Amino acid sequence: MPKSNYSVGDPKAEQLIQNLVDYCDNPVAPDLLKEILTTVVKMGVEHRDRGDFKLTNNTLKELRHAYRVFLPYREKRKVVIFGSARAPESDPSYHMARKTAQKLVEKGYMIITGAGGGVMEAANRGAGRENSFGINIRLPKEQRANLHIEGDSKLMQFKYFFTRKLMFIKESEATILFPGGFGTLDEGFENLTLFQTGKCMPRPILLAEPKNGTYWENLVRYVDEELLSRGYISSIDLNLFHIIHSVEEAVQHIEDYYRYYHSLRYVNEFTVLRFTRSLTPAVVDYLNHEFRDILRAGDFQTSEALEAEKAFGEFPDLPRLVFQFNKQHYGRLNEMILWINRNLT
């Protein structure tokens, strides 16, 4: 619900805002729509910097357009594939990215890329137009949309990296990173940071390259020797990602992750994991013994949909696992989700 004191403070403005809310006739979130309009009016009254308005305007327009593009496809899981825009077709990573995208589409997934060349082109090529999205960034060079997504209605053009990265995370359920430059590493560390801090939903994050590659092994060695050894991260954080060296490994890992796991929801002090199959008493007993370290209090318990979920019709028929997560050990949470998927029979 909106903050009770969040208002412009002028009855005339409040009425105009309410008139606009009524005009939109949106039954899902009239309270949030009112807050958004209030923010716009407050900004109009308070600010005189044109640059601030340009940034806010472009951000809202980019997000609105991206929401509209993705909306018809929300029921299908999507995998985002990153990698160098400079990788030639002869690069083994190009071939692996193309085949990985193709195999994931065969399993029912759609593919999102940055729409550029190299690995991104390979992924769009493997997925085909029908199952591809492109989230392009306007740059002086390198980032013209590849021929396999150019002109498609699912190609989006972004001015800002931050809005672009938000859509990559928001609209996908898994991340595959192939070797690349600063942009690829930026996307990879963004994914890891958001997962580590609980700012995105649990997801597979796969560091992919062909057999005998050293790109990710060298990076992880640096992480071990410089970050882990200095206490900048914990060993639990290493469970946030997996290195894979084949198309089959990539597809199997993502398939395993979503074999029974469906989604996560926070309801007050509780974390709710939804599954497509009921957890057996033996599985719950194991969790209470082996994963108790991630609990803030209480136990793991099965449950039906909580009242907050029922109020919005959020998958009311799915079985739940409910617990008080400490919201710190996301690597262990990731490990637990994989364990449940692989051991629930």
Domain membership of residue 193 (yes or no) is: yes
How far apart CA 102 and CA 90 sit, in angstroms, is 18
pLDDT at 5: 79
Domain membership of residue 29 (yes or no) is: yes
pLDDT at 2: 47
Instruction: Answer for the pair 132, 79: CB distance below 8 angstroms, yes or no.
Output: no
What is this structure's pTM? 0.94
Q: Are residues 133 and 234 in the same domain?
A: yes
Q: How many domains does the chain fold into?
A: 3
Instruction: Answer for the pair 336, 314: CB distance below 8 angstroms, yes or no.
Output: no
Q: Are residues 151 and 217 in the same domain?
A: yes
Q: Are residues 171 and 292 in the same domain?
A: no
pLDDT in tens, 240-263: 999 999 999 999 999 999 999 999
Q: Are residues 100 and 49 in the same domain?
A: no
Q: Are residues 88 and 232 in the same domain?
A: yes
**Span 163-173, average pLDDT:** 97
Instruction: Answer for the pair 300, 323: CB distance below 8 angstroms, yes or no.
Output: yes
The per-residue pLDDT of the chain, averaged, comes to 96
Q: Are residues 112 and 226 in the same domain?
A: yes
pLDDT of 97 over the 70 cut = yes
- Residue 142 — very low, low, confident or very high, per pLDDT cuts 50/70/90? low
**Span 52-77, average pLDDT:** 97
Domain membership of residue 310 (yes or no) is: yes
**Span 165-187, average pLDDT:** 97
The percentage of the chain sitting over the pLDDT mark of 90, rounded to a whole number, equals 96
**Span 88-101, average pLDDT:** 98
- Residue 138 — very low, low, confident or very high, per pLDDT cuts 50/70/90? confident
Cα torsion through 275, 75, 174, 340, rounded to 10: 10
Find the domain containing 149 and state its range.
74-257
Q: Are residues 237 and 201 in the same domain?
A: yes
pLDDT at 140: 76
pLDDT at 230: 98
